[in-house]
Amino acid sequence: MKKISLIIAVITACGAFAVTDLQAQQANRQQRRAPQMVMPSAMSSEQRVKMLTDSLKLTEEQQTKLKAVFDEQAAAMRELNGKDRTERAEAMQKIRTEQDAKIKEILTEDQYKTYTTNMTRGFRGGQGGPGQGPQAMTLDQRVDRIARALELNDDMKAKLKTCLEENEKATTELRQKSQSMSQTERREAMQKLRTEQEAKLKEVLGEDLYKKYQEQSRNFGPGNNFQQRMTPAQQAEDIAKKLELTDDQKTKLTAFYEEQQKSMQEMFTKMQGLTNDERREAMQKNRTESEAKLKEILGEDLYKKYQEEMRSRGPGMMNGPRMGGNNGRPGQRGGNGNPGNRPQRRGGGNQ
């Protein structure tokens, strides 16, 4: 568990700039183990509240109450240190269920609906500053990207959007219901839902396009398929089009992402011997330095537009989509293009 926590912390710190295949695998593994909603543990209570304030427009009273909930959760999680794996997993499930109930009491009905949707899409493993986790594109952005990649006509694009809307709604509902299920029941329910979603998607696309969809998903990596991971060049190209960057800025941006990818790998190695406080300090330093470099490349005005663009893509996207190369491995959650296929678990020890 200590190793997994470290990997998740590193992903949280630097995922938006330089995600490696190992990070993507570990992040997906954590999602499979904890299908219930949970905000990233590497964030402080203040950071969590700020992220929710930005997306939910919280009142000051709500901010104060939520901070107390997150402080209480952090203290409870610290008490789990030293417990065996089974006992720890059961305790974490209880803590998360209780936390979600308290959050539901604090938020309005509309806020809570937005909160659960955002958690399903991308809060998991993401942060609200430089170095976020998984990208959370809007539904329209997902449809547009898939439609471009598969060259879909307007009719198929409309059907695809309807299919994804239904899938997203069903996934959100199941995640809420699953909190009262046992691990076995939850696993069976999620597998059943993934099988149904895969069948619907294949029906919409047809056999040939579905195969192409699978291939494209392998290229873009695990997670939300087409939007989860980009190479440095792909990410720079995407941002350059949105912000109308010069060729020089695009070149510098590509170099910046490549540098971040390399530093990410180095940081992962170094952080294995650090304490939690030392890791937190290292991550904060990395975020600050990355933000400064990005601002230097784009300039003040374009950097503000960049932030606005990332916010428009959903929570956890303040500094862009994840990268990692065109070698997403099949068999991970969504990694082979199917909505959530999983690899077979190996062994029975701690991963």
For the cut 70, the answer to whether the pLDDT of residue 193 exceeds it is yes
pLDDT confidence of 216, banded at 50, 70, 90? low
| pLDDT, tens digit, 9 for 90 and up, residues 259-286 | 887 887 777 777 767 777 888 888 888 8
Greater pLDDT, 174 or 349: 174
- Say what the pLDDT of residue 40 is: 47
Average pLDDT, the chain: 71
Percent of the chain with pLDDT over 70: 66
Greatest mean pLDDT among 14-28, 122-136, 191-205 lies in: 191-205
- Say what the pLDDT of residue 149 is: 78
pLDDT confidence of 68, banded at 50, 70, 90? very high
Greater pLDDT, 305 or 216: 305
What mean pLDDT is predicted for residues 237-254? 88
For the cut 80, the answer to whether the pLDDT of residue 225 exceeds it is no
- Say what the pLDDT of residue 137 is: 61
Residue type, 212: K
Give me the residue spans of the domains in the chain: 2-119, 139-227
Greatest mean pLDDT among 124-138, 171-185, 192-206 lies in: 192-206
| pLDDT, tens digit, 9 for 90 and up, residues 103-141 | 999 999 888 888 877 775 544 333 333 334 444 567 787
- Say what the pLDDT of residue 230 is: 62
pLDDT confidence of 312, banded at 50, 70, 90? low
For the entire predicted model, the pTM comes to 0.36
